[in-house]
């Protein structure tokens, strides 16, 4: 696979992704020997737990300053100064100042910083990162009846990289349910991996929350675990009404994804999201920016 390119909504430019651990990912998912290690070790929870513990040790804090410099992060956005973090993992799931991520006026916003793909009709998804892979909604949701209800609905995949802010938020105002955990392995969800096997999205460990809204019906919100993301932490209170953009939870170390699914006819996704997704180009933008609106 060639370098990963995406469209940056903020700058209006096409950018090339700086892939954390790119050499390792390409070896594991593209080399025959790498694939042996993938199935024997890397996809297993023990590997991610081991790496998570490593990144939670005090000595891991030495990696913070070089990481900030290498990937051009802006410490002025952080709620805490970099030197206050006691480990790399603590830095990784850092909070930001409220002013760092303003919430747009549109009724539905992106739930996370990241690279996003949007599809107006799930039943007509013909390609994600490579053509010819069928999207399996029943497997993703773990519920065939629920999948039937949302089969012609809209879906937005938000992919977070290790360099991103790793807290995820609610895309709309509403009342959230308890979160259901769906067990599974921990394959990478980088395009390097998904281009070879899209099913990692619906076989990986994942969580499912129902958000009851006035404007969009019941919105399904999912978090997808991945290699080195053995922990998906929920910080919200089920059953309590919340505002659009409220924090839902965070991922511990690693890159991962969230998926937002709407009932048929309930949302009109942003034009630039649809335009680039139709070309299999991800749209990069931040949590709180416009994801869509109510249908006209």
* Catalytic machinery residues: 113, 169, 256
Which token pair is 236?
């919200």
Chain Cα centroid distance, residue 264: 22
| Distance spanning both ends of the chain, measured CA to CA | 39
Decide if 248 contacts 177 (C-beta within 8 A). Answer: no
Q: Which residues contact 30 (CB under 8 A, 6 or more apart)?
A: 1, 192, 196
Q: Which of 207, 204, 186, 202 is nearest to 249 (CA)?
A: 207
Decide if 135 contacts 198 (C-beta within 8 A). Answer: yes
State residue 200 phi and psi, 5-degree precision: -55, -30
Decide if 296 contacts 268 (C-beta within 8 A). Answer: yes
- In the three-class reduction of DSSP (H, G, I as helix; E, B as strand; rest coil), residue 36 is classed as helix
Helix (H) or strand (E) holding 45: helix 45-54
d(CA 122, CA 220): 13
């Amino acid at each position: 696979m060639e370098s990963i390119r995406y469209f940056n909504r903020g700058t209006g430019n096409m950018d090339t992704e700086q892939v954390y651990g790119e050499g390792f990912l390409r070896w594991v998912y593209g080399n025959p020997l790498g694939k042996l290690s993938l199935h024997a070790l890397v996809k297993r929870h023990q590997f991610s737990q081991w790496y998570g513990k490593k990144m939670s040790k005090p000595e891991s804090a030495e990696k913070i300053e070089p990481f900030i410099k290498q990937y051009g992060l802006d410490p002025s956005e952080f709620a805490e100064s970099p030197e206050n973090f006691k480990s790399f993992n603590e830095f990784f799931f850092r909070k930001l100042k409220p002013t760092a991520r303003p919430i747009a006026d549109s009724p539905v916003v992106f739930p996370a910083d990241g690279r996003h793909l949007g599809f107006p009709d799930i039943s007509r998804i013909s390609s994600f990162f490579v053509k010819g892979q069928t999207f399996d909604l029943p497997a993703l949701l773990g519920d065939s009846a629920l999948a039937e209800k949302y089969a012609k609905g809209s879906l937005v995949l938000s992919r977070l990289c290790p360099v991103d802010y790793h807290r995820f938020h609610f895309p709309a105002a509403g009342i959230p349910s308890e979160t259901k955990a769906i067990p599974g392995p921990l394959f990478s969800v980088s395009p390097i991996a998904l281009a070879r096997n899209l099913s990692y999205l619906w076989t990986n460990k994942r969580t499912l929350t129902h958000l009851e809204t006035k404007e969009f019906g019941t919105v399904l919100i999912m978090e997808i675990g991945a290699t080195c993301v053995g922990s998906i932490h929920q910080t919200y209170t089920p059953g309590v009404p919340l505002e659009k953009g409220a924090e839902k939870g965070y991922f511990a170390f690693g890159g991962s994804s969230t998926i937002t699914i709407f009932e048929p006819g309930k949302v009109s996704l942003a034009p630039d999201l649809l335009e680039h997704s139709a070309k299999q180009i991800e749209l990069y933008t931040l949590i709180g920016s416009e994801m869509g609106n109510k249908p006209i």
